[in-house]
Amino acid sequence: MVELKNVVKSYKKRAILDIEYFKLEENQCLGIIGHNGSGKTTLGEILIGVLRQNSGEVIFEDNSIIRNAVFQNFLIPYNYKLLKIANFYRDIFNSKEDLKPIFENLDLNDFKTHKYNKLSEGEKQKFKLLIASQTNQVYNYLMN
Q: Is residue 77 part of a domain?
A: no
Distance CA 131, CA 24 (A): 24
Angle value at C-alpha 31, between 138 and 84, nearest 5 degrees = 40
Give me the pLDDT at residue 139, please.
47
Q: Is residue 67 part of a domain?
A: no
Distance CA 73, CA 118 (A): 16
Residue 92 shares a structural domain with residue 56: no
Q: Is residue 124 part of a domain?
A: yes
Q: Is residue 13 part of a domain?
A: yes
Instruction: Give the pTM.
Output: 0.56
Q: What is the tally of structural domains in the chain? A: 2
DSSP state letters, 92-131: HTT----HHHHHHHTT-GGGTTSBGGGS-HHHHHHHHHHH
Q: Is residue 23 part of a domain?
A: yes
What integer is the mean pLDDT of 8-30? 88
**Residue 77, helix vs strand vs coil:** coil
Expressed as residue numbers, the domain containing 104 is: 82-143
Residue 99 shares a structural domain with residue 134: yes
pLDDT band at 6 (very low <50, low <70, confident <90, very high): very high
3-state DSSP: the chain helix, strand, coil percent, rounded to 5? 35, 20, 45
Most confident of 77-86, 89-98, 109-118: 109-118
| Final residue before a domain boundary, out of 10, 30, 60 | 60
Residues 42-86 pLDDT 10s:
898 888 887 899 999 999 888 767 676 666 666 677 789 999 999
**Backbone torsions φ then ψ of 114, nearest 5 degrees:** -85, 150
Q: Is residue 106 part of a domain?
A: yes
Q: Is residue 65 part of a domain?
A: no
CA dist 116 to 7, 101, 106, 111, Å?
Answer: 37, 19, 15, 9
